[in-house]
Amino acid sequence: MNYHWHWGVFFSSTGIGKEIYLDWFITGLGWTIAISLTSWLIALVLGTALGVLRSLPNRGLARIASAYVTLFRNVPLLVQLFIWYFLIPDWLPDRAQIWLKQDLSPSTSAFLSVVLCLGLFTAARVCEQVRTGIQALPRGQLDAASALGLNLSNAYHHVLLPQAFRIIIPPMTSEFLNVFKNSSVASLIGLMELLAQTKQTAEFTANLFEAFTLATLIYFVLNMGLMYFMRWLERKVRVPGLIALETK
Amino acid sequence: MLKRTMVTLALLGCGLLTATAYAQELTGTLKKIKDSGTIVVGNRDSSIPFSYFDSAQHPIGYSMDIADAIVDEVKKDLKLPNLKVSYNLITSQTRIPLIQNGTVDFECGSTTNNIERQQQVAFSLGIFEIGTKLLTAKNSGIKDFPDLAGKNVVTTAGTTSEHIIKKMNEDKKMNMNIISAKDHGESFLMLQSGRAAAFMMDDALLAGDMAEAKNPAEWAITGKPQSFEIYGCMLRKDDPQFKKVVDTAIGNLFKSGQINTIYAKWFMQPIPPKGLNMNFPMSEDLKKLIANPTDKSAEQL
């Protein structure tokens, strides 16, 4: 294959102002981090709430949470994104539509759709992790909490959730990293995050392999960093003697 | 470095050997086609009317008619009337690597010949020439590029239009919001849904989108072209034998005037799948290109 390699391409001018191609990657990385962290925050809050609901003795509430998980986990992420970006805005009242489509900058508008989509999608997955974390605890934990006179909400707050969260740190790490990788769907609605900038560089320079190699490296380093952070967190919050962490 | 030099020397040696000992011997793509008995043509799925699928998922279009003429020329040149033709779907991201690694032998679609791509692949004689213009609603009040100041403008990611409009925005401080949609279909959707006031793209592709709209009369193509681009068929670099066959096929279409029939078929008459008529008369630039064929990019002329 006679491919013309040119690694210096990242430092060459884009022809737009004083930008070099590397600047595009940096801007893109900024968007990727912004999308991922915002979505993760939504996913964590909503997912925890849903996870608790699913583990409650109240059947009705558990069923609502379970329906949520079924819906959001079974529809492809990309389809969900197109629904949030193209379909739902058209159902809003006219004034909201104009605000969303014209008053907001296109990037902000796309950003809202993406974080909502990715946040709600990931919440379904976080919900399942939280539920399994709670259900992994021995039944006696809740009984003991009740025996101590804690009501249900206090039992979750002080006894069940602190233990459940510690147990699920490893699978939650995967979900956290997934958010960063899934954030690349934003490139499909014109938000210039890392993947979009990569594709753009590849198209403009015809140096496709260099562009995608750099993007791969950035994603890899970013996710490695997050993984080490989560490992550090796991050790930091570790409670000596807690069964599920004994093997560590 | 040493290794690379040795490889180069070895290749050079082979080249010399081939050149002297087997002057008439087939090389490159033609040899590959003859050995495998198959020619692989790259096609696009939604470059209307250049290369797209009909309702039977068969690739058709202006550029595909040219590709057929090239295949016929190859059959004639290799004396292989029963040469098998297979089609391989390519996208704007895969087209260059798939040609380089030999998956696809050549592609005719809507690929602009430019200097960056010439580093990676070779181009045939130009087959089409476009100008980059704007598609906008007739009542939008937008007549030309300066009217875009402060507005949302959509263009397709990775196109020359994207580069030009971003540069214009920066140089002239026009304060536009530029949306880069993933493909032409999505760009037009952004325009139709009111997220963008105008869509900048190659005029011929805009005409294709307009013809597809629910009510084509609502839309207009406007603005002074910001660039001219020549489309070419892409083939592997440094393959003079194959390039000669490809260029002969295209040159013959131009000389015989057959190209006018092909043009009229795709741009002036109803086309599949919906029977829409693009009504896009041949531009002076394309007429000039046909009269004086070239494999250079527009910026090199």
Helix (H) or strand (E) holding B39: strand B38-43
Torsions phi, psi for B269 (to 5 deg): -130, 160
Q: Contact B135/B129 with Cβ under 8 angstroms?
A: no
Q: Contact A6/A204 with Cβ under 8 angstroms?
A: no
Mind listing the pLDDT tens digit for each residue in A193-246? 999 999 999 989 999 999 999 999 999 999 999 999 999 999 999 888 775 444
**The token pair that represents A221 in the structure block:** 């380093």
Torsions phi, psi for B151 (to 5 deg): -100, 170
The alpha-helical segments, DSSP class H, found in chain B are 2-21, 28-36, 62-78, 95-100, 115-118, 160-171, 184-192, 203-212, 240-256, 258-267, 284-291
Q: What's the whole-number average pLDDT of chain B?
A: 91
How far is CA A172 from each of CA A67, B50, B138, B193, B282, rounded to the nearest angstrom?
Answer: 21, 48, 52, 38, 59
Asked casually if ipTM beats, i.e. exceeds, 0.90, the reply is no
CA torsion B161→B130→B121→A217, rounded to 10°?
10
Mutate to test the interface with A, among B153, B161, B195 (most CBs of A within 10 A): B195
Q: Give the distance from CA A117 to its chain's centroid.
A: 10
Please give the pLDDT value at position B6: 56
CA–CA min distance B298, chain A (Å): 16
Please give the pLDDT value at position A247: 47
Distance between CA atoms of residues A182 and A86, nearest Å? 19
Please give the pLDDT value at position B212: 82
The average pLDDT across A31-42 equals 98
Q: Contact B111/B232 with Cβ under 8 angstroms?
A: yes
Contact A208 B97 (CB under 8 A): yes
Q: Which residues contact B178 (CB under 8 A, 6 or more apart)?
A: A106, B153, B154, B155, B162, B165, B166, B169
How far is CA A4 from each of CA A22, A210, B56, B96, rounded to the nearest angstrom?
Answer: 19, 10, 38, 11
- With beta carbons under 8 A apart, name residues in chain A contacting B119: 4, 6, 206
Distance between CA atoms of residues B178 and B39, nearest Å? 41
Place of tokens 């590849």: A202
Say which amino acid occupies B242.
F
Q: Give the distance from CA A240 to its chain's centroid.
A: 30
Contact B100 A97 (CB under 8 A): no
Contact A1 B170 (CB under 8 A): no
Is 70 exceeded by the pLDDT of residue B19? no
Q: Contact A62/A56 with Cβ under 8 angstroms?
A: yes
Q: Is the peptide bond before A93 cis (omega within 30 degrees of 0)?
A: no
Please give the pLDDT value at position B92: 84
Contact A196 B157 (CB under 8 A): yes
Torsions phi, psi for A193 (to 5 deg): -85, -170
Contact A206 B120 (CB under 8 A): yes
Contact B119 A15 (CB under 8 A): no
Helix (H) or strand (E) holding A61: helix A59-74
Is 80 exceeded by the pLDDT of residue B75? yes
CA–CA min distance B29, chain A (Å): 13
Mind listing the pLDDT tens digit for each residue in B186-229? 999 999 999 999 999 999 999 988 888 888 899 999 999 999 99
Name the B residues in 60-119 with CB < 8 Å from any A CB. Answer: 92-93, 96-97, 100-102, 116-117, 119
